[in-house]
Amino acid sequence: MKCKEPTKSCHPTGWPAGRPMTIKEAEAITHTLSKPGKMPGFAYSTPAHECKTGTKLRAIPNSVCSNCYAYKRGRYRFQNVIDAQYKRFKSLTHPKWVEAMAAQINSKKVKYFRWHDSGDVQNLDHLNNIYEVCRLTPDVKHWMPTREAWTKDHLTSCPDNLIIRFSVPMIDQEAPASWPHTSTVTTKPGQRTCPAPTQGNKCKDCRACWDKTVKNICYGEH
């Protein structure tokens, strides 16, 4: 279902008494979407400090989280960004979170969406809610990178328009064959497959992270 106007709801089931949820009402629940500068479309950024596995990995040398870009680096160090992330994080258990997220994503009329340019999935309820948002936004391709290995047990119910990539925890570690889609980090330039470093640190026309025919994305250390 497509929006006719950006101020109208795109959620097909509507808001109380059959009235559509407005984007202003949706943003009051979930806060606004984030807009990463390097990627197409929008994202949903939550605090890196609240990553369950990532927080543990940060203390381990040579882990991909030991030098996390979303942990007080770049724009993520600014207080207004941190405040916005925590507003989103606190909204995750809101009973209308799914409807509000679907309304916002559909209103943007974008083809691509990333879950968690900062942060990660918190628990099974959160994962199931993301699945439902994806089902309510069928014209959008969703990508969710995660360090949470337990999500593999729930891939059978993953919507067709969502790709979950397991982020391998250690730098220069090979991707596990048991995962259908993965991402790795390398210190060896010849192994990197992400073209962003040669494109001004931007995706440009590359959509490999959303492409289910691409089993592994290998990023340079960043």
Q: What is the pLDDT of residues 122-144, one digit of tens each?
A: 999 999 999 999 999 999 999 99
Reference 118, options 165, 85, 143; nearest CA is 85
- Residue 68's pLDDT band (cuts 50, 70, 90): confident
Does residue 80 or residue 120 have the better pLDDT? 120
Top-ranked range on mean pLDDT: pick from 71-85, 152-166, 196-210: 152-166
Q: What is the pLDDT of residues 110-123, one digit of tens each?
A: 999 999 999 999 99
Long-range pairs of 150-155 with CB within 8 A, sequence gap ≥ 24:
151/121, 151/127, 152/178, 152/179, 154/124, 154/127, 154/128, 155/180
